[in-house]
């Protein structure tokens, strides 16, 4: 597919910020290339981490100028490309974020309100993983990591007597 055709389709179907973000990503990934395989485009724009990676320097424009977010652009592009948002990349992203929140980190938070909000957020994200279609169809791949996250949450709650 010609990149210009792809951008034209996005311009007709998506928000202005989605178009700007896609141009920004394509500029970083496919400099001086006019055509890209449709499957490669779909792979590029289905990978949630690519948005964080390639739009990192574009955050001011996304958040401030357009009152949007990387997540909003991702969702819009998934709809445009007919990609299920409940996929390997989004699941992996949430799991990695939760794995960084080890029990010691949560327990060492000084502000009790922030500690409780962190625990509630952790629990919500864990529940969203457990109800994820992709997770439930690929449990063997993620089960041990999700079990560890669940144990970490239980440990924190037990330590705080919740």
Q: What is the pLDDT of residues 140-160, one digit of tens each?
A: 999 999 999 999 999 999 998
What would the pLDDT profile of 131-141 be if each residue is shown by its tens digit?
999 999 999 99
Query: HSE (CB half, 13 Å, CA atoms) of 111?
Result: 4
Enter the pTM of the model: 0.84
Spatial CA neighbour of 129 closest among 145, 105, 106, 107:
145
The Cα–Cα gap between 113 and 70 comes to: 27
3-state helix, strand, coil in the chain (%, to 5): 75, 0, 20
- Measure the CA–CA gap between 122 and 134, rounded to whole angstroms: 19
């Amino acid at each position: 597919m010609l990149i210009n055709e792809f951008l034209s389709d996005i311009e007709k179907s998506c928000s202005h910020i989605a178009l700007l973000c896609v141009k920004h990503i394509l500029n970083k990934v496919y400099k001086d290339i006019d055509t890209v395989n449709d499957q490669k485009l779909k792979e590029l724009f289905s990978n949630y981490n690519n948005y964080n990676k390639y739009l990192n320097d574009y955050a001011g424009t996304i958040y401030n100028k357009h009152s949007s977010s990387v997540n909003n652009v991702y969702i819009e592009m998934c709809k445009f490309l007919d990609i299920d948002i409940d996929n390997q990349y989004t699941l992996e992203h949430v799991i990695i974020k939760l794995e960084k929140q080890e029990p010691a980190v949560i327990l060492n938070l000084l502000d009790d309100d922030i500690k409780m909000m962190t625990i509630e957020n952790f629990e919500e994200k864990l529940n969203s993983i457990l109800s994820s279609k992709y997770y439930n169809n690929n449990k063997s791949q993620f089960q041990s990591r999700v079990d560890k996250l669940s144990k970490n949450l239980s440990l924190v709650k037990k330590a705080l007597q919740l």
